[in-house]
Structure 1
Amino acid sequence: MAPWRDDAMPVAPRPPVALAVPNVSEGRDAATIHALVEACEVPGVRVLDVHSDPDHHRSVISLAGEPLALQDSLVDLAAACVDRIDLRRQRGAHPRTGALDVVPIVAFDDDGIGLASEIALGLAGRLATEIALPVFLYGAVATSSDRTRPRDFRRDGLEGLAHLVDEGGLVPDAGPPRLHPSAGAVLVGVRPPLIALNVWLPDATLTEARTIAARVREAGGGLPGVRALGLYLPEAGMAQVSMNIEDHRAAPPALVIAAVRAEAERLGVEAGDAELVGLIPRDAVLGGPTPSAMRISGFRPGQVIDPTGVA
């Protein structure tokens, strides 16, 4: 019999890599942000990007890793959020429902929805049983056609959501039947890649920022798949149009930024630099204007995500 050789064995397949972009309701305290990021750093998971904003009082953490390791990372993050964030004392410009506010698992295409859904549903169960947090599902794993996006749960604020749950008008998909007293609830979902962009308006009023946002978002007859808010951020000392691009093929970032600048010009308002929050898919920047041409300040090559090499 021939001797056994390592090189005669088939090569084990590489474990699938998943991407999650948890948003936490802390953007000011550096020690807390560091502790939350550190909680994510488990074997098999990489922290790709961290974006914190003191006015939004929010941090966006981009994680990639093996599915079960990614679940472990997010459970540890949830526990750290419960320990360190108290929504009863926390205020910020960005709407929120929880300390660990929203956990999207990213499906880059239809083929990825199955794996992303398994991760999301498994995570929801673990957050319920291990951390005792109520969980609402959205996106591809939503259990109600009336609530498929995070904004569907946030429309009446945290207090409104708590009242709705207390009155029995909405039941968590997993976990306790009431919101956590200090940590609220967690929104767990599956969605395609989303691009979060802000455009600064150095001399605009809040009213002007809101007008521009209303004109560029889909709901106002603007660009398809674009969600936009007009905000005034005291820490920065200026207004901002804060946007999510849900379909970058229908509304490329360059087109969205150009639309904001055009609407600002119509109002006689100066539009400043743009800002990318988190990651951007490679195909959203290939073949179009460069980030510098779009005036995206602080852009780093590491913010470009490729579904074939996220880890």
Structure 2
Amino acid sequence: MRKIIECIPNFSEGTKPEVIYQIVKSIAQFSNVYILDINRDKDHNRSVVTFIGEPNSVIEAAFQATKTAAKLINLSTHKGVHPRIGATDIIPLVPIKNITYKECVKLANKLGKRIGEELKIPIYLYEKAATTTERKNLANIRSKKISGKPNFGPKKLGKSGATVVGVRNFLIAFNVNLKSNDLAAAKAIATKIRQLPSVKALGLELKSKKSVQVSMNLTNYKKTTPLQAFKAVKKEAKTLGIEILESELIGIAPKDSMPKDPKTSLLLKAFHCNQIVDFSRILINNTPRS
């Protein structure tokens, strides 16, 4: 049985398509890896690449992408509204088929160790790969609310910053953009939305769109679906006299997490079938080995 994992590296570059092209090229060179989604955001100054494949190929692709990012991205000159600590900021791994979390944790350690040793980038393990309770939460690592040295690599930061590698459950990255430039309102809505179960939310400014955004991570879609989160944002925005502009799905999501007509019911500005994980499984099963 073929083992399949998902990898969702986040890169701190969203304004230079040529840089992202080179990073994606580093991933696409592997025959057993399938890129499902590429999201580039100017205001976040961040790009998220979602790909799946056989474990060894995925880990090699993630390493090569990190290596390319280290050459092309200088974090010391980076500006963007999204929190970050590295050129390759995070590399989450998610088990998709015929593989356990325990196996994925071993892969995360293997990848982190290699990046740390060969690229000299500090590596912190998070979520299910974390070695201490305080490191399970990505926010703690970003805000430096942790003790001790990195899990791998040097303690000193270079121009590539640090990278966080880990294993997690399905996480749906879902953003709702508002017809407003009131950042305080977006932050207030995000505070309310964080009261929903398994929802992390931030209010961010989108200067290029003259808008603001409620950026969300739905860590358990069975407790809060994208539609429930969307309706909650819409309700809170309405109390402030603000309308919804559009929403964004970053990466992929399980089929049972989405409404029947996501483009209409969620006002998704862009959406394609490979973003639904069930379709991704069909894709990988119907693609012959190279």
* TM-superposed deviation, 1:129: 1.9
Aligned-pair identity in percent equals 32
Write the letter of the residue equivalent to 1:270.
Answer: E
| Contact 1:24/1:81, CA 8 A, preserved across alignment | yes
Partner of 1:32: 19
Partner of 1:189: 166
* TM-superposed deviation, 1:15: 2.8
Instruction: Give deviations 1:238-284, integer Å, cap 9, x for gaps.
Output: 11111110000000111000000000011111122111111111121
Write the letter of the residue equivalent to 1:192.
Answer: N
* TM-superposed deviation, 1:79: 0.7
| Contact 1:17/1:310, CA 8 A, preserved across alignment | no
Instruction: Give deviations 1:48-105, integer Å, cap 9, x for gaps.
Output: 1100000000000011111111111011011101100001111100000100000000
* TM-superposed deviation, 1:193: 0.8
SS in 2 for 1:209: helix
Write the letter of the residue equivalent to 2:19.
Answer: T
SS in 2 for 1:297: coil
Q: Distance in 1 between the 2:193 and 2:243 partners?
A: 16
Structure-2 change in CA distance of 1:15 and 1:258 (3 Å): same
Partner of 1:112: 100
| Contact 1:109/1:192, CA 8 A, preserved across alignment | no
2:64 corresponds, among 67, 76, 87, to 76
TM-score (norm 1): 0.86
* TM-superposed deviation, 1:107: 2.9
Show the 5 A alignment for 1:9-88. 14-41=1-28, 42-88=30-76
SS in 2 for 1:146: helix
Show the 5 A alignment for 1:231-270. 231-270=204-243
Instruction: Give deviations 1:175-206, integer Å, cap 9, x for gaps.
Output: 11222x20011100100111111111112401
Q: Distance in 1 between the 2:132 and 2:102 partners?
A: 19
Larger radius of gyration: 1
Partner of 2:274: 302
Q: Distance in 2 between the 1:94 and 1:200 partners?
A: 15
- Name structure 2 gaps, 5 residues minimum: 285-290
Q: Distance in 2 between the 1:267 and 1:234 partners?
A: 20
Instruction: Give deviations 1:215-255, integer Å, cap 9, x for gaps.
Output: 011xxxx2111011111111121111111100000001110
Partner of 1:216: 193
Decide which moves more: 86-95 or 289-298.
289-298
Q: Distance in 1 between the 2:10 and 2:227 partners?
A: 25
| Contact 1:47/1:61, CA 8 A, preserved across alignment | yes
SS in 2 for 1:296: coil
Q: Distance in 1 between the 2:59 and 2:98 partners?
A: 21
Partner of 1:3: none
Decide which moves more: 88-97 or 301-310.
301-310
SS in 2 for 1:280: coil
Q: Distance in 1 between the 2:283 and 2:118 partners?
A: 28
Structure-2 change in CA distance of 1:73 and 1:294 (3 Å): same
* TM-superposed deviation, 1:112: 2.5
Q: Distance in 2 between the 1:68 and 1:130 partners?
A: 17
1:225 corresponds, among 198, 201, 205, to 198
* TM-superposed deviation, 1:43: 2.6
- Name structure 1 gaps, 5 residues minimum: 1-13, 156-160
Partner of 2:122: 134
The yes-or-no answer on 1:272 pairing with 2:272 is: no
The yes-or-no answer on 1:92 pairing with 2:80 is: yes
Q: Distance in 1 between the 2:43 and 2:180 partners?
A: 17
Partner of 1:11: none
TM-score (norm 2): 0.92
Q: Distance in 2 between the 1:76 and 1:284 partners?
A: 32
Structure 1 runs, 4 residues or longer, greater than 2 Å off: 107-112, 288-291, 306-311
| Contact 2:2/2:98, CA 8 A, preserved across alignment | no
Decide which moves more: 114-123 or 55-64.
114-123
* TM-superposed deviation, 1:151: 1.2
Q: Distance in 1 between the 2:283 and 2:124 partners?
A: 27
Decide which moves more: 294-303 or 48-57.
294-303
Number of aligned positions between the proteins: 282
